[in-house]
Copies of this chain bind each other. A is one copy, B any other.
């Protein structure tokens, strides 16, 4: 949503009538609604260009604008500008934290490119994870025919997602080793290994120099599909000269090397070897190789497998159809068919490994799923534990344990390995590529800083190591990467049916509601004196006190009205006075304020 559109939101949100002057029967007067809007500017324009807006790009230069992923793990999006054209690499979503209640997902801020959508020559998608493709539907809603460039599986995943949004994209299928031009950008794609198949790094050649963007990657030397991160290509590009190297920072703080996916095989096999009854596996619906391992183990132990949950069924169907998942004949059956089989022959593969309340696993743990789990069943959480999800996941584990289920997870068995390069791998990359400039991407502040420190330790000059944040504008001119200014890069919240309308102010209100609840005060006032005509009524939700507190508030209202209200005709002001008096009174007693909404009606 543009700032202009947002400006209109408050008026739309409030359907207050414009009543005539104040009377006994028309309890609202015009000034009040003005007051109220002034009091709660919930949908004020979110972002104006920072004072540090960049100067025009030097002729022949390359501009890099990270709009997401630099300062958080998610909503990855980088915009490259050259010769008046724009190239987008990735467009993902970020999942909200607890202090962002009610938010569904968070998008990159499209503001800096919204007036230049026609200049975009393509969106390159490095791989099919939500934090790299989840924002594409929202960008395509603004211009539907932007070509999407990606590998086969990546395009299949984004196409399936876009179908739900009723968008048919224009796609360009590329493979590792391919070279393509998109406007003034000369693109070369390089295989990288990650926790989803078919990942690509992209080298972007322009007359300003060469950029190499790793996407998300690690350097598993024995991946299940044999498709390793192509360090020979990295070396060749390094020989040619990489002017700016954008590298995945997620695990830059983790010392050493990420172990191989194959190292999980014994622990996964052990689960199947020892499970007396059903095995229920939960993992990400995109983790094709992890699921492959589960399928192989189930097959080896004579079990059948059913996929449970919409996204798991859909993605595994795509992966199988395209040949990324190898399913022995007869191994996978319909969940319904599995019900008739003996428990020791059953494997279920479902979503919910992050404790998502609506996913199959949580519903099984709560006894709300048609699949009833119990004594002797084994649940395998073959997945990571994303920070912030711990309590939800532990809650699911505890509930399953209470049902007699044995739960195997990364805390008690070697059943997960990260998809990102650890510090040791990153150092190899820096030494192989020997870039002139480095810009860490994909990480919070601490990850970006740690990654930059690794680059510097390998000999990248500190002045060429740019620790940027979303919205920073970096220009590559004469072989040097320099901060050129800033553009807006706010967090754009998708909230219910709205995009960008849930502002920080709205979230602050929700946090206040969460901690203290809401108190609605109905105050009947004498229109002559503006004094309480009768005791106010308090309607509360999510609020507790010992009762005397609210009675005490009435005295505060009386005092506040006597001090400030006589003579005014402004109901908005009266409501503000009442709400303020109640809020202060409660805040003093409770050490936190509930949200107080006052409604004034004339007696």
Q: Which listed residue, B394, B517, B554, touches A513 by the CB 8 Å rule? A: B517
Check B513 against A550 for contact (C-beta < 8 Å).
no
Which residues of A400-422 have CB atoms within 8 Å of chain B's CB atoms?
Answer: 401-402, 407, 411-412
- Is A398 an interface residue, CB under 8 A from the partner? yes
A401 to chain B, nearest CB (A): 4
- Is A495 an interface residue, CB under 8 A from the partner? yes
A71→B402 CA distance, assembly (Å):
10
Which residues of A487-513 have CB atoms within 8 Å of chain B's CB atoms?
Answer: 495-498, 501-502, 506-507, 509-513
Q: Which listed residue, B13, B253, B542, touches A547 by the CB 8 Å rule? A: B13
Interface flags for A562-592 (1: CB within 8 Å of B; 0: not) read 0000000000000000000000000001111
Q: Which residues of B contact A401 (CB under 8 A)?
A: 445-446, 449
- Is A7 an interface residue, CB under 8 A from the partner? no
A314→B27 CA distance, assembly (Å):
56
Q: Which listed residue, B412, B509, B524, B603, touches A517 by the CB 8 Å rule? A: B509
Q: Which residues of B contact A27 (CB under 8 A)?
A: 522, 524, 601
Check B547 against A15 for contact (C-beta < 8 Å).
yes
Q: Which residues of B contact A524 (CB under 8 A)?
A: 25, 27
Q: Which residues of B contact A26 (CB under 8 A)?
A: 534
Check A498 against B544 for contact (C-beta < 8 Å).
yes
Check A545 against B28 for contact (C-beta < 8 Å).
no
Chain B CB within 10 Å, residue with most, of A402, A524, A537: A537
Q: Which listed residue, B19, B496, B518, touches A597 by the CB 8 Å rule? A: B518
Check B534 against A17 for contact (C-beta < 8 Å).
yes
Q: Which residues of B contact A537 (CB under 8 A)?
A: 14-17, 28
Check B520 against A599 for contact (C-beta < 8 Å).
yes
A524→B25 CA distance, assembly (Å):
9
Q: Which residue of B lies closest to A397 (CB)?
A: B446
Check B253 against A544 for contact (C-beta < 8 Å).
no
Q: Which residue of B lies closest to A412 (CB)?
A: B253
Which of the candidate stretches A127-135, A236-244, A385-393 sits at the interface with the other chain?
A385-393
Which of the candidate stretches A49-57, A94-102, A305-313 sits at the interface with the other chain?
A94-102
Q: Which residues of B contact A255 (CB under 8 A)?
A: 412
Main secondary structure on A side of the interface with B: mixed
- Is A9 an interface residue, CB under 8 A from the partner? yes
Q: Which residue of B lies closest to A511 (CB)?
A: B514
- Is A551 an interface residue, CB under 8 A from the partner? yes
Check A102 against B514 for contact (C-beta < 8 Å).
yes
Q: Which residues of B contact A592 (CB under 8 A)?
A: 102, 496
Q: Which listed residue, B399, B446, B497, B513, touches A590 by the CB 8 Å rule? A: B497
A86 to chain B, nearest CB (A): 28
A508→B405 CA distance, assembly (Å):
28
Which residues of A12-60 have CB atoms within 8 Å of chain B's CB atoms?
Answer: 12-17, 19, 25-28, 36, 40, 42-43
Check A25 against B603 for contact (C-beta < 8 Å).
yes
A520→B506 CA distance, assembly (Å):
16
Check A15 against B554 for contact (C-beta < 8 Å).
yes
- Is A539 an interface residue, CB under 8 A from the partner? yes
Q: Which listed residue, B498, B501, B510, B547, touches A515 by the CB 8 Å rule? A: B510
Given A391-B387, A407-B446, A449-B401: A496 and B539 interface contact (C-beta under 8 Å): no
A483 to chain B, nearest CB (A): 15
Check A388 against B387 for contact (C-beta < 8 Å).
no
- Is A549 an interface residue, CB under 8 A from the partner? yes
Q: Which residues of B contact A253 (CB under 8 A)?
A: 411-412
Check A391 against B388 for contact (C-beta < 8 Å).
yes
Check A13 against B510 for contact (C-beta < 8 Å).
no
Given A101-B514, A514-B101, A548-B12: A595 and B541 interface contact (C-beta under 8 Å): yes
- Is A178 an interface residue, CB under 8 A from the partner? no
Q: Which residues of B contact A407 (CB under 8 A)?
A: 446
Q: Which residues of B contact A138 (CB under 8 A)?
A: none
A498→B543 CA distance, assembly (Å):
11
Q: Which residues of B contact A14 (CB under 8 A)?
A: 537-538, 540
- Is A516 an interface residue, CB under 8 A from the partner? yes
Instruction: Identify 16 new A-B residue pairs, CB closer than 8 A, beyond the known A506-B517, A518-B597.
Output: A12-B546, A13-B540, A13-B544, A19-B534, A42-B544, A102-B514, A102-B517, A387-B394, A388-B390, A397-B445, A398-B445, A398-B446, A496-B544, A509-B542, A512-B542, A541-B595
Provide 28 A-B residue pairs closer than 8 Å at the C-beta atoms, listed in order of the A residue.
A13-B547, A15-B536, A15-B551, A16-B537, A16-B538, A17-B537, A28-B537, A36-B539, A40-B541, A43-B544, A98-B98, A102-B515, A255-B412, A388-B390, A397-B445, A398-B444, A398-B445, A399-B445, A496-B544, A496-B591, A498-B544, A501-B546, A506-B544, A509-B541, A510-B514, A510-B542, A511-B514, A541-B595
